[in-house]
Amino acid sequence: MKKSLLIVNLLIIGLLLTGAALAQMPAAITIEPENATVYDEITLTFDPLEACFQSGSLTGNAYVAMHSGITVNGNPWQNVIEFNGTGANGQSPILSFNPDGTYSITFVPYDFYGFAPGVVVTQICAVFNNGTGWNQDGRDFEPGTTNCIDFFIPIDPGSPPADPFLHSIVPDNCDIGESVNVQIFGLNTHFQDATNNAWIAKDGNTISFTSLFAPNDTLLSAQISVPGDAIIGNWNLYVENLIDDTIVLVNGFTVNDTVSYFPFAITIDPPEPSAYDEITLTLDTRLSCPDGALLSADSVKFHSGVTIGGTTWNNVVPFDGLGVNGQSPSLIYNGDSTWSLVFIPVEYYGITPGLILEAINCVFNGGDWTLGEGKDYDQNSGDCIDFIIPLYLGSQIPEWYNNEVIIYPNPVNDFLKLNSSNNLNTYVIYTTLGNVEIHEKIVGSNSSTIDVSSLSPGVYFIEGYTEGQKSFHKKFIKK
């Protein structure tokens, strides 16, 4: 009987894989590389001119958002990532505009949807909108009709990668002569049992660096100092521990030969801030693209996100919304054609302490997109492009920010631990849509263990108060 069931299961999986192989790619979608698996980094491109829409076309938008899930064992729309949420890896589902009118997003499906290794995933299910609602949308055409249906994008289920493995390093590059903080993520990598040996190597040259291990065994924080005579190009990353010997991430780190560009229309005070500093960001409307479009604006709004791990436009705060800390994205006029906003990036974008932000991505408008916009000038073509404002990664996480309240492990399976330097009073856990899932009060303790096993996989926020009514706000991922 067991043998018969095994044969039936194998036949079902075989049919699923065959169906995936025969499925046709929708006309509005392209995938690069074409033969990618769910474990590969893919670039998904959406063409609104080839799409069906029920409410309004997405053609010409500054960006579009992807509302998506996956087909697991023949069941569509599993592990759904909302268009206004974030993936299981914290990545925003925003697609960037391309010069040809299409929109693209680069991601690893396995990381983005957070499914278990070995699960048979045959499709990405998706619809697209303008990032704020469904008054504009992009869908597939039902074959032979003009009816709109969801996109079902075939993808090779592939084979799960070896375990343990390193799947990310943030940031993954450094200029020569620069010292940067990085974070290395892995699955069951046993970093707690490491011997503190970590290094990058290329062509027989080795650069060792100091490392600091996180409270769980999936995260390593380190500082790399790249000498001025380092070889330019891709270096392999090595991390040694006592259980798995040496783990290698091939081409895991890139050494650049150029200094980061800073936009002419933007000034930052202090001039070299980290994401944990309070900064004053100032836009000079005389220098933004197109020429002087916001020069006579009555108001200026800040539409922005952040670069994490080389991926732009994460944790987007729209111009007509509020930061995670409740702050308005409205800039204050300085009386001389410049406008300023004072904020702390990690609080404004709701970033988990320790996650490194490489840059702020932003555009400006006059209150909506019909009243003019302010962008950067492309250095080569002179075209208008999004601002990319570098943040400086050399600073350590401030003690007041990192040690006030610590949550771990993150990502979490069943039990989330909460530790504080002061007694905890209360906390609430809610979804990215604001739905409260857990709300509890703590009396006379600076630690707590929270059962989150009933939560669905995805991104959540936990916030509350410690003794003296000091507030805290953290983000975590439920696996």
At 405-446, the pLDDT tens digits run 777 776 788 888 777 767 777 788 888 766 778 887 776 677
The answer to whether residue 395 sits within a structural domain is no
The answer to whether residue 261 sits within a structural domain is no
Q: Mean pLDDT, to the nearest integer, of 337-353?
A: 85
Does the pLDDT value for residue 163 go beyond 60? no
Q: What is the spatial distance between Cα 407 and Cα 433, in angstroms, rounded to a whole number?
A: 21
CB-CB contact of 238 with 211 (8 Å): no
How many domains is the chain partitioned into structurally? 4
CATH number at residue 457: 2.60.40.3080
Q: What is the spatial distance between Cα 164 and Cα 166, in angstroms, rounded to a whole number?
A: 7
Give per-residue pLDDT as tens, 179-217. 666 666 665 566 655 555 678 888 778 887 766 555 445
Copy the structure tokens of residue 471: 């507030």
Q: What is the spatial distance between Cα 267 and Cα 207, in angstroms, rounded to a whole number?
A: 34
Give percent of the chain with pLDDT exceeding 90: 31
- In a shared domain, residues 22 and 131: yes
The answer to whether residue 324 sits within a structural domain is yes
- In a shared domain, residues 366 and 410: no
- pLDDT for the residue 26: 96
Give per-residue pLDDT as tens, 256-270. 665 556 888 999 998
Instruction: Kindly calculate the radius of gyration of the chain based on its CA atoms and give it in whole angstroms.
Output: 23
- In a shared domain, residues 149 and 35: yes
CATH number at residue 230: 2.60.40.1930
Residue whose pair of structure tokens reads 């096993």 in the numeric block: 453
Copy the structure tokens of residue 254: 């890139």
- In a shared domain, residues 384 and 407: no
Q: What is the spatial distance between Cα 25 and Cα 27, in angstroms, rounded to a whole number?
A: 6
- In a shared domain, residues 143 and 125: yes
Backbone angles phi, psi at 470, to 5 degrees: -80, 125
Q: Where are the beta strands (DSSP E) in 87-193?
A: 94-97, 103-107, 121-129, 137-138, 140-141, 148-149, 151-154, 165-170, 173-175, 179-187
CA geometry: angle 259, 263, 267, nearest 5 deg: 105
264: left (phi over 0), alpha (psi -120 to 50) or beta: alpha
Q: Structural domain of residue 251, as residue ranges?
A: 165-256
Does the pLDDT value for residue 318 go beyond 60? yes
Give just the sign of the alpha carbon dihedral 130, 133, 138, 139: positive
This prediction's pTM: 0.39
Q: Which amino acid is at 263?
A: P
Q: What is the spatial distance between Cα 108 and Cα 28, in angstroms, rounded to a whole number?
A: 20
Give per-residue pLDDT as tens, 147-159. 999 999 999 998 7
Beta bridge partners of 375: 289
Does the pLDDT value for residue 87 go beyond 90? no
